[in-house]
Chains A and B, each alone.
Chain A
């Protein structure tokens, strides 16, 4: 939209006309109250024969007329006239054809008009967007809900805006909207259109302002919120308002149908045995009412379609525990109860069979079989039962003689094809693969309905709902930031359960924490980090503060452990900074690197150093030797299968905040390497059990010494370092060791140099210093001589293995004699010692 097409003429709208009439209707509203009071008293006096009926009748009619006029104003005059079939999309695509003001609500027009009047009074050259915002905040309804939940101070912001607009100066008033004001108006239209609204409201202007107005932005930044969050908050408030308003309209079909019906099951049979061993969800929902279900819309529709079919009308609900499978059953029960589902399943009963209680009450397998037979028979004869079996996979395996194990598949297989028998089995992916899939007779009679994990946005909405209930119960306010950080942290650090369960559990945990330790009636966002740290043992708050320092200082930190390799370390640090500061657009892991270079030059050590500085400990590292994965048949060992845990996936699932070190990467089978393409690209992989394993909180480092000869040769020939890398990559591609698309997906390919003699001397010193530190704790001073260092380098260096041997040589030649001398009492506290490089004997210097 350009500014030439901007036509916002508020005076030529019906709503503006209503605005002019509003003082009269305000008076009528006031008169209504007086007439009602007069009617009440005149009627009272009439009853006691003080007055005649005429007064009551007249006041009754007058109050009725004022109510009538009030409604006329509210329902007709105040609402903009929107032509049939019109959508705001037309307005966005052809703004020049319309007077935009025609599509703004009464309150919005009122606020903008006040901004115009204000600018006129102050003789401002244009209508400033901050003035519009100020009057929107003055006029808007329910803004307290949004502001208090965002921890924003409405009054303070109003005051700041007021001060600002009163400080504006101009010479002559012109009814021109400023550039920002135009932007706000267009943006508000777009926001309303996205929500499929027909009219732009104050809330939409507010969301638009949060993107544009500087004062608003500053306030948002202070409370760590973004404009999208204002959008979410507004959405939350509007959804609540809409729900309340819908409920008020009792004459609407949706509300009427909730009153239920009688006689629907008169043709259906009784289910006496089933009733003994089951929960009738339809009855439960009738009694306690039901909150709205958020998300899983597709899965619910799929489930309904399956159940409504003539053939294959049994469903297998597959999803991780905690992904909302039970809520889906409740939502189905609600729709079916109110006749809002498909005609084939409307008004049926959703009954959950408790197989365990059947087992518990029976003495023998035969008795169990007899009871189940009777139950299924009843369900089939009744014709109005949809049976639900939770943990379905537990009951379709072959019994292995263990107590409490039962296989109902034999009986069930006869009932599943019957037209009057409908079943929903609930299972996890694990149960599906391990048990149900092994029973094709059952599996073929059921259709899988997958219940996917909810998205973060949907979880925010669910938490919003829960938060309101909890606020009522515990009398504490739960701000939006808390909800946001609950979703953020549970998504990142809690992996035992999917959304929404993990987020709901965390919300409960944080509420309990607040009740116990909180000083204010507010559930503060920082409590979330505290609770998550307690649950996961990851020092969260620290990590976030530390990360910045670590990133800024990464080179120095790594150099504490690694000698030389300047270029390599510089490159890793730069790549990590790019990846973590949000400059790079990415979905993959925190960082992914390929370390190339000969053995013993510090590749693994660098990885360990990163794990220590980034994740707090060297132990937060998953190390895999990829030479163990040379065949395709090794894939299940890597990503798991029904028989075994995945060496990579299970460990990442359990420990998502970690460094993954893939040693000897080139030795893995090419197809196994291909698995990593997706990990680098998308940040997740599907494991052998069909679970999505998230890698976005890992740093992945692959090491390889492929083509190290090239590096050695290049150094001999003194080729420029940048060229060495090119040559090495050429060699790798030529030999087909790694495919270019794999190499391109790494954040950085880092080439490590072979170590020079100086480097080796420094490494020897580093290792000896470790010993020195240990000895100094025993108050023994260990003097490191250059000759000793040289001897160690001489003994340990080989071109193929770099400095790898050095640690062992230091241990053997220096560590062992020292230990011996310490134990035998040859050296004591306060001694000053040296090690002779010739025979490694210990000399005490006096």
Chain B
């Protein structure tokens, strides 16, 4: 907004601007930060990327030449390491997704709550008087 048009605003229009534009914008930004941070905290993108990686780098060498028994042993061990990795990662991913959903709804409540704050206040006063 330029200075000229801002100067024309009176205090009421400033209040409306603040209520319905300034603060919601900030809430949206904070909400986005929390959503993004939650995924980062549970390392969801990284875990998905390395979903089938060996668990803590445990892997068995297939060795030189071909020996079926040794090959099969290495294969099974490596598969177990990968499966274990995927299993444990799944848990963290699930946790991460659950909290993500919770944060989404909390943010939504806050956002809408702020938007309807004037009405909510009026209703609260109305009920307060009624209770008296």
Contact = CB atoms under 8 A, between A and B. Distances in A.
B111 to A, nearest CB: 13
A58 interface: yes
Contacts of A48: none
B92 A262 contact: yes
Contacts of B92: 262-263
Contact of B18 (A65, A76, A381): A76
B33 A256 contact: yes
B42 A17 contact: no
Interface residues of A, number: 47
Which size class do B's interface residues fall under? Answer: 35 or more
Interface string A243-278: 000000001110011011111111111100000000
Contacts of B46: 263-264, 267, 347
B69 interface: no
B128 A58 contact: yes
Contacts of A257: 37, 40
Interface in B83-126: 85, 88-89, 92, 117, 121, 124-125
Contacts of A539: none
Contacts of A253: 33, 36-37
B132 A52 contact: yes
B118 to A, nearest CB: 9
Nearest to B19: A72
A87 to B, nearest CB: 14
Nearest to B40: A261
Contact of B34 (A14, A60, A81, A256): A256
A410 interface: no
B41 A267 contact: no
Interface string B40-73: 1111001100100111111000000000000000
Nearest to A69: B15
Contact of B129 (A58, A259, A261): A58
B91 to A, nearest CB: 10
Contacts of B33: 251-253, 256
B40 A81 contact: no
A516 B120 CA distance: 64
Given A57-B131, A270-B56, A83 B2 contact: yes
Given A54-B131, A267-B56, A61 B124 contact: yes
Contacts of B85: 266-267
Contacts of B30: 251-252
B132 A55 contact: yes
A87 B132 CA distance: 55
A99 B6 CA distance: 14
Contacts of B128: 53-58, 61
Nearest to B31: A251
Nearest to B127: A57
A224 interface: no
A58 B125 contact: yes
A269 B56 contact: yes
A339 interface: yes
B89 A53 contact: no
A26 B68 CA distance: 85
A269 B41 CA distance: 20
Contacts of A58: 124-125, 128-129, 132
A261 B46 CA distance: 11
Interface string A375-402: 0000001110000000000000000000
The interface centre, meaning the residue of A75, A81, A257, A267 with most chain B CB atoms within 10 A of its CB, is A267
A12 B129 CA distance: 43
Contacts, number: 118
Contact of A339 (B34, B40, B54, B132): B40
Nearest to A65: B121
A733 interface: no
A554 to B, nearest CB: 62
A788 interface: no
Contacts of B3: 81, 83, 99, 102
The interface centre, meaning the residue of A262, A270, A339, A347 with most chain B CB atoms within 10 A of its CB, is A262
A64 interface: yes
B82 to A, nearest CB: 11
Contacts of B18: 72, 75-76
Interface string A71-88: 010011100010100000
The interface centre, meaning the residue of B6, B55, B89, B129 with most chain A CB atoms within 10 A of its CB, is B6
A21 interface: yes
A52 B43 CA distance: 50
Given A81-B1, A251-B30, A264 B43 contact: yes
Nearest to A81: B6
A54 B128 CA distance: 4
Contacts of A270: 56-57
B42 A263 contact: yes
B34 to A, nearest CB: 7
Contact of A381 (B57, B117, B121): B57
B50 A14 contact: no
A347 B41 CA distance: 12
The interface centre, meaning the residue of A13, A17, A56, A76 with most chain B CB atoms within 10 A of its CB, is A76
A61 B121 contact: yes
A400 B114 CA distance: 75
B128 to A, nearest CB: 4
The interface centre, meaning the residue of B41, B42, B124, B128 with most chain A CB atoms within 10 A of its CB, is B128
Contact of B42 (A54, A60, A262): A262
B46 to A, nearest CB: 6
Interface string A139-166: 0000000000000000000000000000
A585 B124 CA distance: 74
Contact of A14 (B6, B57, B117, B131): B6
6 contacts: A54-B128, A72-B18, A253-B33, A261-B43, A263-B42, A270-B56
Interface of B: 1-3, 6-7, 9, 11, 14-15, 17-18, 22, 30, 33-34, 36-37, 40-43, 46-47, 50, 53-58, 85, 88-89, 92, 117, 121, 124-125, 127-132
For the complex of A and B, list the 3 residue pairs with the smallest distance between their C-beta atoms, beginning with the closest: A269-B57, A54-B131, A57-B128
Given A251-B33, A256-B37, 20 more contacts: A54-B127, A54-B130, A54-B132, A55-B128, A57-B127, A58-B128, A58-B132, A61-B121, A64-B121, A68-B117, A76-B14, A76-B22, A77-B14, A252-B33, A256-B34, A264-B46, A265-B56, A266-B56, A267-B50, A268-B56
